[in-house]
Amino acid sequence: MEYVLKNGKVVTIRKPVVEDAEELISVISTADKETLFLARNPGEFHSTLEEEQNFIEGILNSTSRTWFVAEIDAKVVGQCSVGLVNEYQRYRHRAGVAFVLLEEYSNMGIGGKMMQECLKWCKDNNITQVELDVVKNNDRALKMYQDFGFEIVGTMPNALRYPDGNWVDEYNMVKFL
């Protein structure tokens, strides 16, 4: 799906293809160095090209999750995933979402467009509860999630520990569809 952003540029939100593997590895590796808001420290993401290609194929063949990439000017600049939190029947109403976006492309509305696609997938798959975790001081992401109707339902204290020894809490958020 193509969207016009705040700055007039066009972003395409689409499912990845195997040929995106190298760019996706680059996006994740770069984003890990740009922010403290992701789960990994720089250098902890170790996917090989073949592993990433297999991962893409697995998701494309899945009925319980999907994945989207954000592309501007033929360059992958972000990604988001959405899928069931558990495949047992009692959990099949719940999905989790996660996002990665290169810093230079933030504040353009790309995250919101990726969220729209994730929420559409949830509605199409009879999901009634969408969940995510966000670092407590990630104000930009927190605002976007709240603008989409997500509510804070809990806090995980000391959820992440940084290499310098500092801890940070994460909010657990939910949106009911």
Say if residue 124's pLDDT is above 90: yes
For residues 98-126, average pLDDT: 96
Asked if residue 117 lies in contact with residue 78, where contact means CB atoms within 8 angstroms, the answer is: no
Instruction: State the pLDDT at residue 119.
Output: 98
Say if residue 44's pLDDT is above 90: no
Give 135-147 pLDDT, tens digit per residue. 999 999 999 999 9
Angle at 72 between CA 50 and CA 54, to 5 degrees: 15
pLDDT band at 121 (very low <50, low <70, confident <90, very high): very high
Task: Give which of 119, 101, 118 is closest to 110, Cα–Cα.
Answer: 101
Q: Considering the entire predicted model, what is its pTM?
A: 0.93
pLDDT band at 41 (very low <50, low <70, confident <90, very high): confident
The domain over range 2-176 is classified in CATH as 3.40.630.30? yes
For residues 10-28, average pLDDT: 96
Asked if residue 132 lies in contact with residue 98, where contact means CB atoms within 8 angstroms, the answer is: yes
Instruction: State the pLDDT at residue 111.
Output: 96
Instruction: State the pLDDT at residue 19.
Output: 96
Domain extents in the chain: 2-176
